[in-house]
Amino acid sequence: MPPRCQLLSGSLPRPAKYIRSAALLPRTFATTAPRHGPKGGDLGSHLPVNVIPRDANIPPYPYGPSLLYRQSNKGLYGGQRIQFGNNVSPDTKTKTRRHWKPNVLSKALYSAALNRKIKLRITSKVLKTMDREGGLDEYLLKESEVRIKELGPLGWALRWTLMQQPEIIARFRAQAAALGLAQDVIDKQWPKVSPAREETKERAQARVESEVVAAKEQYDRRTMIAEKRLDNWNKETALQRWADKCKRMRVAPDTNFARAMAVDERAKITREIKWAGGESSWKAWRKAKRNGRVEAAGGDEAWFAHRRADELMKKQQRQVEAEKKWALLQEQGRRDAERKDEWGAVINAKKGAARLTV
């Protein structure tokens, strides 16, 4: 039926049902957070400089670095380099100089022995060879003079890194035992604990110990400086404040002196806690300090005796200093009174002279 005659029919055309696709439907909000990053322990940088140990004693590459195509020293190029030749015209046989560059790719290859990816610059030829060999580890560990010559300095360092892993050492030992080699030869050639790995571990442990000793020396130095500052502050400011307070109250400086020193001791403890970074750190520091003093004194009894003698000496010293301060204050008060009397006599004389003139 032509379109102009559709409205003349007895029934109107029904619109076709429109089914919305799932992609157009509104998406519900999910309450679970998306997972970011790979699952597992393969974290951190994948560059070779972060895979190969920095302080490792790697034997030198027997064939040396490449001098003609130097970028091949920083990747797996399989001995490939720039080639030069000619473009020959099919008609006139004209030759034009040209060059061919290797097809270099940037790939992140997984190493089963290291349990991580390694981002490398690798040529397509080496990538095909690696797929045929069975992976990065098999390509690096193949015992062939041609393969070792193809590795280059970076491949040689990666090969040495793989050979220090316990799984690779166990594999080499099993292969040597299957070939019938003597056990002493196997232990000498492939020891269960790699000497390079043990040397690296010892070097790292020595570095950690040296850092701990340096940190302890710095902490002791800071503690000594802080104790010296606190002692100086306690001697200077506490006595001065107490003397000023006694002067204002017009009492002897030995009145309730223990209470004033207790207040100063609490202030000292508050500053030490703030300096140590918390009460728990302060308690640990005080405990270590006390243990060191006990050990230096020769035992608990000797330390207690030394502490009692030290406290008695400090008490006597405080009393002497307080007496000196009080004597100075009395002398200053006497001088002030004499000066006040002198000024009073002068003022009275001036007042009397003024009355006489009037």
The SS3 assignment for 116 reads strand
The residue behind tokens 């040597």 is: 176
How much is the pLDDT for 53? Answer: 86
Q: Does the pLDDT of residue 255 top 70, yes or no?
A: no
86 φψ region: left (φ > 0), alpha (ψ -120 to 50), beta (else): beta
Distance separating alpha carbons of residues 140 and 158, to the nearest angstrom:
7
Helix 300-357 / helix 239-249 crossing angle, nearest 10 deg? 40
Q: Are 109 and 122 in contact (CB under 8 A)?
A: yes
Every domain of the chain and the residues it spans: 48-165, 218-357
Residue partners of 41: CB distance under 8 A and separation at least 6:
115, 116
Q: Are 126 and 76 in contact (CB under 8 A)?
A: yes
E strand or H helix at 282, and its extent? helix 279-297
Where does 62-157 show beta strands of DSSP type E? 83-88, 95-100, 104-111, 116-123
Distance separating alpha carbons of residues 53 and 157, to the nearest angstrom:
9
The lowest-confidence range among 164-178, 226-240, 299-313 is 226-240
**pLDDT tens profile 211-231:** 778 877 777 777 777 666 666
The residue behind tokens 């330390």 is: 303
Written as six digits, the tokens of 68 are 């003609």
pTM for the full model?
0.45
Determine the CATH number of domain 48-165: 2.30.170.40
pLDDT band at 296 (very low <50, low <70, confident <90, very high): confident
Q: Are 275 and 233 in contact (CB under 8 A)?
A: no
CA dihedral 198, 199, 200, 202 (to 10 degrees): 80
Higher pLDDT, residue 235 or 29: 235
- Residue 83's DSSP bridge partners are 100
Average confidence (pLDDT) over 150-171: 91
How much is the pLDDT for 92? Answer: 94
Average confidence (pLDDT) over 169-187: 88
Cα atoms found within 13 Å of the Cα of residue 350, Cβ hemisphere only: 6
